[in-house]
Structure 1
Amino acid sequence: MSSTLAFVILLLLVVKTSVVCQAQCSQGAIICETFGSGPRGPLSQSLTNFTYRAGGCPDDGQYTVMDTVSGDCHGQAWHSVRQDHTPNDVRGNMFVVNASYQPSEFYNQKAAGLCPGVTYEFSLWVLNLNRIMQPGACDDYSLRNPIIAMRIEQPDGTLINEVVQPAVPRTTTPVWVQLVMQFSIPTSSNDIVVKLINKGLGGCGNDLAIDDIGFRPVHPALAIQFANSTGSEMTACADTHLTLTVGAAAGYINPVYLWQQSQDNVNWTPAPTSGQTTYTINPVRAGRTYYRLRNTQSINAAAVGRAQCSAESNVLIVNGRPDSPFTLGDDVALCLGTAQVLQASGSLPAGTTFVWSDQSTNQQVTVTAPGLYWLETNLSGCLYRDSIRVESQNCHLSEIYVPDAFSPNDDTRNDHLVVLHAGAFTTYSFRIYDRWGSIIFSSRQVEITWDGTFQNQPCAEGLYAWTADYSILDPLNEEQHFIRSGRVMLVR
């Protein structure tokens, strides 16, 4: 009997990875075996040395899977069981076992991929099928009842935990008894070996039914709260910020964190840029959003999003009240001597009021000077603001400025004749002429300027003519060509 039970537990742990959990498994179960309902065949022979018997009453070393147990089995030695452990489970099955006679270790299997440092719990419901009877010669005058032992080891044989469950007693009517075992996987490995041992004798007695086998992680409690409130729900204006933080129950010690968000409290996604004990929602979304936190030991950092490996907090609800979002557009350049009209793009929701940075409440404002301007909307107390910077600009890009005098006397002031221009040239040629029209200076780069010399010799004081031949791109990104000329006084 114990052999078969142990086999079933390990079969679930190693072979099954995802089972729909019925009501009678513990909350948070990642494996939940209820044995289904309706007709079901034998288990794989590679997993048990028990012999399958379809229906009827199994003998020593045999088992079956069925939804009822007859009270006529073995001379009416068994209870009549009309349904499995799960209430309202129509034709729900149970695992019915007639234990082998001698106790022995009957199953040894490695389970891989669990989470180091996490405490796990096995639980199952057992029913002693044997009715209370007087002991006799068949059982050596000692009633034989189910005894279930579980042993957890590391792959090298080091003991992690061993639990020998108390014998399941006989009763006058069928009674389901829950058995529970917990163990923690050492941080040095995520693989374990489960050895299941039958401690009880078979023959006369030690017959049982098993149902609702569960396997779940047991995490420390983890709680979160709003930074300035102990409630579980808060209303805030959309496009503002709100801070969540770890509460009194901190979960794992020195853990890694993963904040999660959901629109329906069912499907969860990682919250952006989360990973600390606090998380700031910035901005708050309009509508209803759910938030929770997972944390786990750093050794399981890569699996912090898995329920098996991480503690899960309570859920906080944020109700985002809508505001009136808008945009003033990109920053703009304002030509000197002109004006710029600013207005919010798009329509604002009904009930929205607004004010400009100059406290105007008009639909639009006209600006004539550079600076930072903003518009703020108010919808039922929820504010939204957008800003725009206005820069001044010389819009007469065709013009250049050449000083009418300069003094190349090495006093570090006005020693070069510099051509000034508000934009950038696409082509550029600048020349200086003496009184007879001869070229004494030429440059095709605006940063190369005349220092008042010719052939490395200082030029005499007086008037000199210049010409500038250049091209620029106009506001339509088309190239425009210009020629300018003038005179400059060289002063020593």
Structure 2
Amino acid sequence: MYSRFFILTILLTCYCINSLQAQLGFCGGNSGDPIFTEDFGAGTTDGPELPAGTTSYQFTTGTPNDGDYTITSTTNYFDWLSLQDHTPGDTNGKAFIVNASFTAGEFYQREVTGLCENTTYEFSSWLINLQPANSCEGNSIPVNVRFQIWDETDSNLLAQGDTGNITNTGTTEWDQYALVFKTEPGQTSVILKMRNNSNGGCGNDLAIDDILFRTCGDNVTVSTSNNEASLVVCETQGGVSRTLTATPDSSVFSTHAYQWQQSTDQQTWTDITGENSAVLNTPAVTTTTYFRTKIAEDAVNINNDLCNVVSDVFDITVLPLPDAPTSNGDIIICEGELGTLSVSTQSNYIVNWYDAEIGGNLVLAENNTLEIGVGGTYYAEANSTAIECASTTRTAVSLTVNPLPIVPDDTSTFLCEDSFTTLDAEVEDATYLWNTGETTQQINATAAGEYNVLITNTNGCSAMRNFNVEQIDLPIIDTIESDGASILVATMNTGNFEYSLDGISFQPSPIFDAVEGGFYTIYVQDNTDCGVVSEDFYHLVIPKFFTPNGDTFNDTFAPDGLEVFSNIAISIFDRYGKLLKFGNSDSTSWDGTFQGEQMPEDDYWYLIKADSSQFKGHFSLKR
């Protein structure tokens, strides 16, 4: 009695230790093809109900309350996340929706049959917490599921592991969990169980999808002696073969049996007769072919897909020669522009541009478009991005560069005040567009400013010609003054003015020197021949000084030009205003004396009244 109790206690203790130490994890090596899958189907109608004995939860076709489940394509219950099932490519795909019971415990079990004894397997499933973030006032119960694998008698636990707390982060991304186990001798079926580690209530609402069983074996790589893991060749290389070696890492299997296979689509695999070693000399292939080997620990299981695993796949990709690119058309541009040549080709090929139909120089690599400004014919070749596998011909695309109109240099010109000037594009056989909106070869400009014309030739190419038009204003005479024997002319405006006393001979200076007194007409014009203005002027020559020293030269103060007046009165004063001389038309000069006495050197003042005019100023007496 004691001994039986002791043995039972030991067994229970070992079981608990194993349970505590067990954990989830994926197969560390290669896997076989799936031997069991459960994706819960598809459709818009809830269900069907799981087979009897699968779960203790209550099936519902409506909203699942605590302790209920449903099989459905929607999760729009309560405030749960709205999401799609996990199965790739499903339309209205369904998932197993569980609202946890108030009491933690088992909610799913099913038997998986047809397994192989002494074989390692990987169980996996996808889970997600359906609670949105911050639900239940931040106190949502997390999802926490334990997976268990029992033997077919439901008395021997082979493996178990917990997901740990899956909190309500609000993500709609599914997570996958896996558990690796090994069947015992004579064992060909197991029981999968899922258990809620948390009680139900506010939270602990989950969805499960894509339950999967497959074999788990060594990590098996396939490569050549040059450590190639795949091969890409061009069809011009003909039949290609390689010697492949499968290398298992012996992490699971202690012995290895092989069966090599090949496929053209990686969906349907065909055994290669007699190829049962770790090395394969592939047949010569001319189209893309894939190679792998099945591996089992015992040769008797090599063709049992419930017991074997498959290696990595070695690809021999045979690229067909691409067709030559299709031209999108020749391009015509104008001188100074860039033209964009383009071609189309298959999406998995690149385009290289050359300057010759065969050979030649590479102009641009790996681009369907060529932007260039040099005219000529360019050749596009399709090629692979992986290896040299080029189209047998190149596609010619031409770039024509038309010349621009030959236009004269930009011009500066002028127009006269209140007149116009004619601007001429000076290019024949073209169309014209002036910045004034006019479209003729010539236009009349009536105002100063910047003018331009866009000249377009028969090839459609354009060039611009610019005109700067300045207005030439007529001179405006401001003052005309006598300065001794000189006449000084001043204008109110500026310009390239010329001056004349007779309207015939013009000079650039506004000063006329040594001019006899008298009436004159002063002429002023711009040297661009935009017109002339004139003004009459009486020029009275009053000496600035005289020297009454008896040498007969400049001995008297005698204004020149008074003879044109009928009535003349002249008065001479000293600096104190004393009248020293008064004369009339017969006596307009002064000899520098007063009552027979010579006056000293000094400045003296004059006042001349001539008809209706009056002149006054000062002069110097020097001895």
Q: What's the TM-score, normalizing by structure 1?
A: 0.48
Between Structure 1 and Structure 2, whose CA radius of gyration is higher? Answer: 2
Higher RCO by CA contacts (8 Å cutoff, separation 6 or greater): 1
